[in-house]
Structures are given as structure tokens and as C-alpha cells.
Structure 1
Amino acid sequence: MRPSPVITHLDPTDLRRREPVLPRVARLLRPYRAKIGLVLVAVVASAALTSVVPFLTRAVFDDALFPLHGGPPRLHLLVWLVVGMCVIPVVTALIGIGQNWLTSTVGNSAMADLRGDLFEHLQKMELAFFTATKTGAIQSRLANDVAGVRTVLTDTATTIVQNTVTVTAAFVSMVVLSWQLTILTLILMPLFVLLQLRVGRRRQRLARRTQESLSEMTAITEEALSVSGILLAKVFNRAESEVERYREANRRQTRLQVEQAMTGRTFFAVVQTFFAITPALIYLVAGWIITGKLPVGADALTAGTLVAFTTLQGRLQMPLLQLMRVSLDVQTSLALFRRIFEYLDLEPAITERPGAVALDPDQLKGRVEFRDVRFRYPEPRALSGTAHQDRFGESGVRIDESAESAGDADEAAQDAAVQAGWALDHVSLVVEPGQLAAIVGPSGSGKTTATYLVPRFYDVSEGAVLIDGYDVRDLTLSSLADAVGMVTQEPYLFHGTIRDNIAYARPGATPEQIVQAARDANIHDRIMSFPEGYETITGERGYRLSGGEKQRLAIARVLLKDPAILILDEATSALDNETERLVQEALERATRSRTTIAIAHRLSTIRSADVIFGLEDGQLVEQGSHDELLVAGGLYKRLYDEQFSRVPATAPWCDPRRADVSL
């Protein structure tokens, strides 16, 4: 067993750009400028109306109930003032309803855009990125991190603007009423701002750690509760250890959540206490001013002014506290935005060159050439908190989490571990149009690696891979994907109907085309034996179907695609004889009239290949037909002899000519 690849974390040079976060968040909202403008108008109008109420209150006391110039209460004026004080809250509430609808629409739309952009970008990332990163960690950034910024996009921006306008209007009104009392109210605000900044920085660090912990929990859930994970735990009796692993991650998440929730609580308690006792201090200072102990304008301090001022002070307290809390929320959300932008900033390793050529399917012949190809697996890239980490059981045996998601990429993953060596070294070969070419060799010789270079799952380090004379790096990615089909050792079926799984290769396929592909793959009769036929649910990763059924569905899918070049990683070794015969017949149909490159595990299945390539230690050591290579007495002859000598000729349950060996 080769050592596992070393996962390196990205430094700033691995990212496309390192722009500040806030301008990028602002760009998310740019398509919704008109709605945001209406929100601002509503905020200003609401704040302005709210600021009028204290002045109406002062008029009620000083002009209507207790006129300063003497005389009885002025009931007519009182009625109009009360009407105004009643109408303003109603109008403000109606404005608030519209404002909430606008902010919710803008915020959720922007969040949907962000989620869609992130998913689209992840689809462009190279295969190596996903073999180096836990699936659960990716899911966490796509779901948890984006959900974590929901409040910022839906409410926070509006809250900041609304409370800023409210605080400004209240401050101006308080100054107009009494600048002396205003100074007393705001005297400690600079200290509060400094404390809030310190709390915010701590909350930001905690937010990132909390999300990384949540990513780990999501990864554990995805691994342990998948069909493969459950099966693995039951087979090795590791259910209790999986439960404990989850509980430990859960305990860590709980500690971080509590710590994050409690950070700043003391600070806010102090601020709220100050605001709570300020009215009492206001009354005391007002008494000193009225009695002349503070000669700072007692004539302007009437009963109405004092009531209006304390009313304003109460209105000022909540917006200020909300601004402080929102500021902390923003700093927390900035940590989540940075995690999201880290993914968006990753430059895909496999990109389309400017002026790339689109292959014409009607002119495509399917000639494949490796021209002095050298390939070394790149260092797997992973972001902080998302690296694919090895997990060891009590026996010390490594559980390779990428094996479940990579399927038949085991050999490629092993080759990737040898960072200093060449997976392929000066390989030159040609597969002519319509030929069936087989690749044989020991495990880790580079067979799967070679096939991954044709559809550009990886790019060559040196040399070139060509299709019909075009370097695959000069072709459009979509036309290259259309030209190459693949049937892997472990075919992947998503949780859906059999019809949908087959039609995945061609979404616009007619029912007749789907049925014909299933017939050609020798699976139609089996499908029709199910009670629900083509509407049968396959289950996660196709676990409701047998290995042969999954394999034939994968062949039907590629037949529906009808590619000019077909890559086969033969998977008949674990099948019974009858199922193997059906699969082999389906494969023979699949290889007709198209260029086929087959990784051979059973040499008996490739005797009729037009050309056989032997790979060893990443080098092409021989090529020729079955008979030619047997006569040559090289690698192929050695593998052939090993395979057919492993099972005694007297074994009643196996034909020795078809004995299995992993190559």
C-alpha cells in the first residue's frame, strides 16, 4: 500500500483574487438596486415620521394640556395632536410591511445567486480537488455557510440603514431639545464603540471555528450515514466508534456555539444598564438645571421638553443597541463570506483556452494519440477545514473516504500519492478510429491514469494527448465531453428512477431511445420484470440493484450518449457467469463502430482486441495483438501465465481460462 497523498492548504497565490469582502458583498446586491432604493426611501420616511412623535408629545404638554402662557387646556389642539400621534404609528407600520417584503426579496434573491454561483463554480473544479476535499465539507460551505449569511443579506443591511437614520434623527432632535442633556446621554459612547470592536474581532474568530466544526460534523454525517458508510460500520462492528466520533464533534460544536453566544453578553449588559439608569440621571441633572445649580439654560427646560427628551432617549437606546449587535453580526458573517469566497476564488485547474475548437460530431473519427506523454499528479489542493483527512481504526488500517466517491479511481488515488514520481513517463501510443485497444499492467502501473487524460480529467505534465490530431487542451470542454464516454468499474447511479438514470446521458431522449439503449445493454427484460418497470427507484448509489444490473444500466447510459470514443474499465470479475455473459454481450455492442480503450482485468476478455498496450511503472513496455505479445514473452505473457495458473484445472466452479486477477 502506497502512502496517502499529502494535502496542502492554499496560500494567497492559489486564489484568483484577494479583494476585500464588503465590496464583493455589495456586488451581490447590485442587480437589485431599484428595490434597495425603495427600501432606503421607506427607511428614511419611517425614521422621519418616528422623530416627529416626541415633538408632538412636547406640544401636548406645553401647548395643549398645560399652556406655558397660562389658561385652560386647549382641547381642539389636543385632538389634532392625538390624531397625529395615532396616525403616525399606523403609517409607519404599513411602510414597515412593504419594507420587510422588499428586504426579504432582495436578501433571499442575493443568497440564491450566491448559492448558485458557488455550485456552478464547484462544477468547474478539477477532479483532483474533490479527491482532496471531503464531500461533507463542500456541502457544508454550500448549505451552512450560505445559510449563515442569510440574516446579513435579508435584514442586516436594512437594519443598519434604518437604525443609523433613526439614531441620527433622534440625536438631532435631542440636540434641538437640550444639548446639555444630550451630552450626558452620549458621554460614554466612544468607550462602548471601542469595546464593541474588540468583541467583534473575537466573534469573527469564533464564527470561523464554529463553521469549520460544523463542516466536520456534516462530513461525518455524510460519510457515516451513507449506504457505504453504514455497510462498512456494520461489517467491521464500528457503529459505536462512529457514534462516539459524531458525539465528540457534536460536543465541540456545542462548546463553540455557547462560547459564541456568550461573547459580548457582559458588554451588552453594561450598555443596557447604562441606558436604563440614564433617565434617572436626566431627571437629576434637570433638577440641578432648574434650581440653578447648573446654570446652563434653565429657561429652555420645560416639563414638555423633559418628557419629549426622555421619550427620544428611549427611542435612541434600542437602535444603538441594535447597531452594536448588528455590527457584531456583520463581523461574524464576514468570516462566513470569506469561507464562501475562498471557494469562488479558486482557479479551476482544467480550463478552456481562448479560441478553443469545437469537435464536429459528424466529422469525428475517434483517433486517439498519446505523444510522448509524461504526467505527475499535482499536489491536491484543499482549503482550511476541508482537507480530506485519513482516519484510522483501532487496527491501524486506514479507511479511505475518497474511495466511496471516487469509485474506480483507486489506482489514480494511489498514483497520486507518489508526488515525486511520474505516473506516466514518455508514453507514446496510437489508437486508430474504430479500434478496440486494451491496456494491461500491474496495479499502479498507470492504466486508469492514462484513460483519465483523454477526457481531460487531468492535463498532461509534458507531451500531448490528441483526438483526430487536435490537442485535447485546444478543444472546447463541452465538445470533448460529448466525444468521450466512460463505463467505470463502479458505475454511479443517483437516487432516482431507472429511466432518469439512463436518460442522464441525453436529457432530451425519447422513451423509445431509452428502451433501445436498455435492450442493447441486455437490461430491458430485467427492468420490465420489476413491478414499476422503468419507474423503479434505484436507491442511493444504486444499492437496490445487483452489480450486474448496475453495470448494464451504466452501459445503457453510455449507449444512449453514443460517443465516438468509449473508455471501459471492465468490471466483470465479481459477477456470476450468466450475468458476466450478459454484460460482455452488452459491452461488445457498445464497442461497435467506435474507438474503444479498455482497461483489462480479465485477459480472456481482450483476446480479440486490435491492439494491446502493456504499462509497467508508468511506461509503455510493449504493444501488439494477443498472439504477438504471447510470442514476445514480455509483460503480457507474464501476466497471462500468472492469471491462468492461479486456479487449479480441477476446480469445478471456475473455468481456469477465465480466472480473475487484478491488473
Structure 2
Amino acid sequence: MRDEEDEVGGEDFDYEALAAQHVSWRRALGLFRPYGGRLVFILGLIFASSLAGVAAPFLLRAIIDTALPAGDLGLLALLAGGLIALSGTGTVIGVLQGLATAKIGQAIMHDLRVRVFAHLQSLSLGFFTATRTGEVQARIANDIGGLQALVTHTATDMTRNISVVVMTMIAMLMLEWRLALISFLVIPLAVWISHRVGRLREELTYEQRLRVADMSSMVQESLSISGIILARTMGRTTHLTRRFVDTSQRVAALDVRAHTAGQWQWAVIDLLLQILPAVTLLFGGLLMSPGGTAVTIGTLVAMIALQEQLLWPLEEVLNAGVQIKTTRALFARIFEYLDRPAEIRERPDAVTLDRATLRGAVRLENVRFAYTPSQPPTLDGVSIDIPAGSHVALVGATGSGKTTLGYLLARLYDVDSGAIRYDGIDVRDLSFQSLTDMLGVVTQDPTLFNATIADNLRFAKPDASPDDLVAAAKVAQIHDTIAALPDGYDTRVGERGYRFSGGEKQRLSLARTILRHPRVLLLDEATSALDTATERAMSHALDTLAKERTTITIAHRLSTVRHADQIIVLDGGRVVEQGRHEDLLARGGTYAALVRASQ
């Protein structure tokens, strides 16, 4: 995977091609489709507000040309009351519209965040091994958050302002078409300039978001507990600070460029809009001259009022157009994730097994797998038969394919060819629920959330009772340690469980898995951080536990698998030996060499 920084700065990066592949305005507008009824209500409010706005100048003209010259106080009061009523109506409509758009905007943001999060859950482990955690966080939090202004305010404000502009232009034509046409001459040029500025800022916004993701990743990696420990023990805190300063400066510089690009072009628009009233007054004066067609003072004042009412929303529409162009860059980043194919899918007709009937028989049939098509296979032609209730150990030198086989058993990847079957059912045909009921996994580096011990255990079984937690903890040889803590099972474990030792985290992870009572238990170096006494006690507990289930142990420490019913020896992604400990030692092959090397 190429570094994103190189892509942006190198010849291979083509933002426009990326955006064209993932973004269309039809797709973006599709986000609003579930809220069609409420959007119609908002459009009605916008139309009513625009109608009230364009009516005010006509009342103003009647006051100046009719009520005031005639000294008709009754008519004056009526027209002034109409202006007040229009102002009050506009205020009420504005409040209602603001509430409605805020609710719809937040609902759309919620839907989009959930869609991205749920889709990422369906991607294979390969996506996450090649993608920085900070990058994922930036797209879900920052990029989707950056769209909030668009869906909450910009879209509806632009619709309202377009409505005001159109209705105001019609009113100006009805009032005095010649002055109206003079006012309209600036619009095409302003729209063209606005489009150019939007295109200029769009690509800068995309690059800016990449750099923000760099900064987010740096914070996530450097300020985690493991990052702090590494930096301080290596004496590299100053170096990390300098790196952060450099990244932050790049983000700040790009932010300035993204917001100020095209500033001179935009100044031209401002200038044109500011001189327009003066031009209108000049031509209005010519029309009022003895040689011109009569234009009343009231008409000219009303035209200037309509013009003011046109210029502000027109400028807002142009500015919103620039914002919408720049948010296309955010859509590109978000839709790029949504368009990634979900490698791990549950089939529509997936098989759901009755938990009570699960046996735990596992069979691998000529399994072949490579992480990328260009690499040689990590596993090639692996066939293993694991009877229900047996204990099988997978051993081999580093890089032999043991951990990869564990990933395939847990369906974190799918096999390229061959099949893995549980109780005779291909794992790809099983429902996700049946697979999690069947298989429990304990890894060498367990993950604990920054929550209480009880919450971490209940992640496996939310309805577990306190007695269930204690029973699982006792099997995992961790209950006495927990009970000795001041807060017991309500003790918070800290970030990634750093309040506990490696062995304690492994035992907590084992207790969490035991709580689910899986029929197949996959232990990937699950006791590697235990001392000899604890490992012996754990082994006894696991032996008791294994009587009720199938156990698959991935081990580097061969002392932990001597009593396995079957030992599978992997080398170069192939099964080279299998049998019991004593038989394999007597054979004097690969396994015997591994045992000698470990002594």
C-alpha cells in the first residue's frame, strides 16, 4: 500500500479521478431521501418565507408613492401593519426551519456514521493491518463531522436563498424590467468566478484532510500508553514533538490555503455587488429625467430594496456553492470507504445451528491462502481433521503459517481455495452467530477496554450474572487476583488493560472467552505471559475445560502441548508432520528439531 502523502504529492495522485469514481451528487442527495416528508415541510417554510420577503418592498412603494403624499393615515397604518406582520411571520418561520433542519441534519450524520462503522466491521483483517487507526478515526469523526454544516445549514440555506433570489428577480421584473435587467448583468460573471474558486478549494480540502488524518494517527500512536513508554525509554520525546510540530504546521498551512484560495477572485464578486446600487441609481435617474420614461421615486426606492434583498442571498448562494464543492472532497473520502468491497459477508441463506447440538468437529480440506495475489501462499494444501472433543496443537517455526491458520479458523479472512468446516458445515455458509457460538478465541496480545473488569467480561455475554463472572474467572485462575482489589470486579482496567500484567490480561481474556462456553476453543499463545506455577495451574484448568470442548492450541512453547491428542507441524505453509509428542520425537524430524532448539 502506497503512502498517502506520496500519493498526494506524486504524479500518481489524481484527486479528480478519485472523486469521479466515488462521488456523484445524486448519491449525495440520496442521503436525504429517507427524510422526504420533512424536507417537503421545510421547502414549504422556505417558500412562505421568500414570499413574505418579496412582498415587503411593494408595501414600501405604496407607502412612499400613495399613503404619504395623500396624507392617508389609515392606509399608512394598514401598510405599516403589513410590514410588521411580514417581519413577525419571517421570524417564526425562521425558528421553525432552524429546528427542523437541525434535527434532519443530525439524523443524516448519525445514519452516515453508522453506515461507515457497520461497513468497516465487514471488512477483512487485511484492511485494518494496512490502514492506520488514526486514519479510520479521522474519516468517521472529522470528515463526517465536516459534512454537518452542509446537511444541517448549507443545503437548506442555499435552497432558501435560491428561492429568495428567484422570487426577487421576478418581483424586480414586475416592478421595472429595465432596471432589473441591468441588475442581472453581474450574475453570470459572479457564478463563473464562484465555480472557479470552488474547484480550486476542493482539492486543497482533500489534501488538508489527509494531513489531518496524519496528525490524528500521530496522536493516537504517540500518546497511547505503549507510545509514551516507548518514547520515554528511547529518549525520543523531543523527536516526536518535532514531528508533531511539522505535521501541525502543514495542517495549518493547508487550512489557510483551503480557506483563502481564490480570495482575489471573490473580491471581484464583492466589488460588483457593491457598485450595483450606484449603477441602478444612475440609470434610474436617467429614466426619471425629462427625456426618459417616468420612474417614480417609490419605484426606485423599492427597486433598491429588492436589489439589497437580491444581493445578500445571491452572495450566500455563491458562497454555499463554493462550500458544496469543497465538501465533495469529504464525500470522496467517506464514500471511498463505503465502496470498499466487504470481503467477509454473511450469506442470505446462512446456516444457523442450534447451540445445544454443536459438537465442535473441525476439518480443513486442502486449504490455500495468500495475503495478496502477488505473494506466494502463506498456506498451501493444508488438510487437518480435528475430532470433536480432542486437543490439537499447531506448532512450527516463525512464519510457518500457524497464526494465519488461526485467522482463517475465526474467519477473519476467507480461504482462497479449499474449505474449513465446523460440524460438516463450510464456515462461509455458517451464520455469524453460529460461528461465534462455535468458536472462542484467546490471543497472545488480548484486547481489554478501558472499562471495569465486569464490563470487559460481559462483552462476551452481556446477560452474565455475577456468579457467572466468578465461575469463569476461577477457571482462568484470575478470581483471587480480582477479589484482592479494592473494587473487585468493578475495578477499571485502564487503557488497553495496562493496570494489569501481561499474564493477568491473558487470564482475563481467557475468562471472557470461557464465559461464552464455545464448543471450540482456539488458544493462540494464550499462556505465553504466565509464570511457570500459574501456567501449570492454568493447564490443569484448561484440561478440565477441554473435556467438554475441542481445543486448538497455537504454540511456540512446546512444553504446553506435550499432552495434546494430536500435534500438527507446519513448515512453509504445509503440514509436514502430525502425531503425538512421543511419536514425533521418535521420528527425529522437524518436530524433534523444534524441541531440541527450545531446550
**Superposition TM-score, scaled by structure 1 size:** 0.86
Structure 1 residues 621-645: Cα deviation after superposition (integer angstroms, max 9, x where no partner):
111101100110011111111211x
Alignment check: 8 A CA contact 2:200 2:262 kept: no
Structure 2 residue aligned with 1:308, among 302, 308, 314?
A: 302
Matching residue of 2:325: 331
Q: CA shift at 1:588, angstroms?
A: 3.1
Structure 2 residue aligned with 1:556, among 511, 520, 529?
A: 511
Q: CA shift at 1:18, angstroms?
A: 5.3
Matching residue of 1:25: 28
Q: Percent identity?
A: 42
Query: What letter is aligned with 2:116?
Result: L
Query: What letter is aligned with 1:304?
Result: G
Alignment check: 8 A CA contact 2:522 2:552 kept: yes
Matching residue of 1:389: none
Secondary structure in 1 matching 2:272:
helix
Secondary structure in 1 matching 2:355:
coil
Structure 2 residue aligned with 1:499, among 454, 457, 460?
A: 454
- Mapped to 1, the partners of 2:481 and 2:501 lie a distance apart of 11
Q: CA shift at 1:268, angstroms?
A: 2.7
Matching residue of 1:76: 74
Structure 2 residue aligned with 1:248, among 246, 249, 272?
A: 246
Matching residue of 1:439: 394
Show the 5 A alignment for 1:621-632.
621-632=576-587
Alignment check: 8 A CA contact 2:172 2:306 kept: yes
- Mapped to 2, the partners of 1:632 and 1:213 lie a distance apart of 58
Q: Which has the higher helix share?
A: 2
- Mapped to 1, the partners of 2:135 and 2:215 lie a distance apart of 9
Is 2:440 aligned against 1:485? Answer: yes
Q: CA shift at 1:353, angstroms?
A: 2.8
Show the 5 A alignment for 1:207-606.
207-292=205-290, 295=292, 298-299=293-294, 301-378=295-372, 419-606=374-561
Matching residue of 1:393: none
Structure 1 residue aligned with 2:141, among 121, 135, 143?
A: 143
Secondary structure in 1 matching 2:570:
strand
Matching residue of 2:10: none
Secondary structure in 2 matching 1:568:
strand
Secondary structure in 1 matching 2:127:
helix
Q: CA shift at 1:250, angstroms?
A: 0.7
Query: What letter is aligned with 2:445?
Result: E
Secondary structure in 1 matching 2:503:
helix
- Mapped to 2, the partners of 1:571 and 1:362 lie a distance apart of 27
Q: CA shift at 1:20, angstroms?
A: 4.9
Deviates more, 1:20-29 or 1:616-625: 20-29
After superposing on structure 2, the runs of 4+ consecutive aligned residues of structure 1 that deviate more than 4 Å are 5-12, 17-20
Secondary structure in 1 matching 2:357:
coil
- Mapped to 2, the partners of 1:574 and 1:357 lie a distance apart of 37
Structure 1 residues 590-611: Cα deviation after superposition (integer angstroms, max 9, x where no partner):
4331111101222122111100
Change (3 A) 1:245 1:602: same
Alignment check: 8 A CA contact 2:67 2:75 kept: yes
Query: What letter is aligned with 1:516?
Result: A
Change (3 A) 1:586 1:66: farther
Matching residue of 1:611: 566
Secondary structure in 2 matching 1:359:
coil
Q: CA shift at 1:19, angstroms?
A: 6.6
Alignment check: 8 A CA contact 2:392 2:565 kept: yes
Alignment check: 8 A CA contact 1:548 1:580 kept: no
- Mapped to 2, the partners of 1:589 and 1:270 lie a distance apart of 82
Query: What letter is aligned with 2:347?
Result: R
Matching residue of 1:165: 163
- Mapped to 2, the partners of 1:575 and 1:608 lie a distance apart of 19
Alignment check: 8 A CA contact 1:548 1:583 kept: no
Alignment check: 8 A CA contact 1:223 1:229 kept: yes
- Mapped to 1, the partners of 2:493 and 2:197 lie a distance apart of 52
Q: CA shift at 1:359, angstroms?
A: 2.5
Structure 2 residue aligned with 1:94, among 88, 92, 95?
A: 92
Alignment check: 8 A CA contact 1:21 1:338 kept: no
Q: CA shift at 1:351, angstroms?
A: 1.6
Structure 1 residues 222-279: Cα deviation after superposition (integer angstroms, max 9, x where no partner):
1111111111111211111211111111111101110111123323322222222222
Alignment root-mean-square deviation, CA: 2.0
Q: CA shift at 1:576, angstroms?
A: 2.9
Runs (5+) with no aligned partner, structure 1: 68-72, 380-418, 645-663
- Mapped to 1, the partners of 2:2 and 2:362 lie a distance apart of 33
Q: CA shift at 1:514, angstroms?
A: 1.3
Structure 1 residues 561-601: Cα deviation after superposition (integer angstroms, max 9, x where no partner):
11111111224444333333343344334433111110122
Matching residue of 1:661: none
Structure 1 residues 477-513: Cα deviation after superposition (integer angstroms, max 9, x where no partner):
2211221111110111011000011111111112211
Alignment check: 8 A CA contact 1:54 1:312 kept: yes
- Mapped to 1, the partners of 2:129 and 2:226 lie a distance apart of 17
Deviates more, 1:366-375 or 1:623-632: 366-375
Q: How many residues align?
A: 589
Matching residue of 1:633: 588
Secondary structure in 2 matching 1:66:
helix
Q: CA shift at 1:522, angstroms?
A: 1.4
Alignment check: 8 A CA contact 1:552 1:586 kept: no
Deviates more, 1:316-325 or 1:24-33: 24-33
Secondary structure in 2 matching 1:160:
helix
Alignment check: 8 A CA contact 2:23 2:328 kept: no
Alignment check: 8 A CA contact 1:565 1:595 kept: yes
Q: CA shift at 1:612, angstroms?
A: 0.5
Query: What letter is aligned with 1:232?
Result: L
Q: CA shift at 1:7, angstroms?
A: 8.0
Change (3 A) 1:370 1:531: same
- Mapped to 1, the partners of 2:185 and 2:98 lie a distance apart of 34
**Superposition TM-score, scaled by structure 2 size:** 0.95
Secondary structure in 1 matching 2:515:
helix
- Mapped to 2, the partners of 1:11 and 1:284 lie a distance apart of 50
Change (3 A) 1:574 1:556: closer
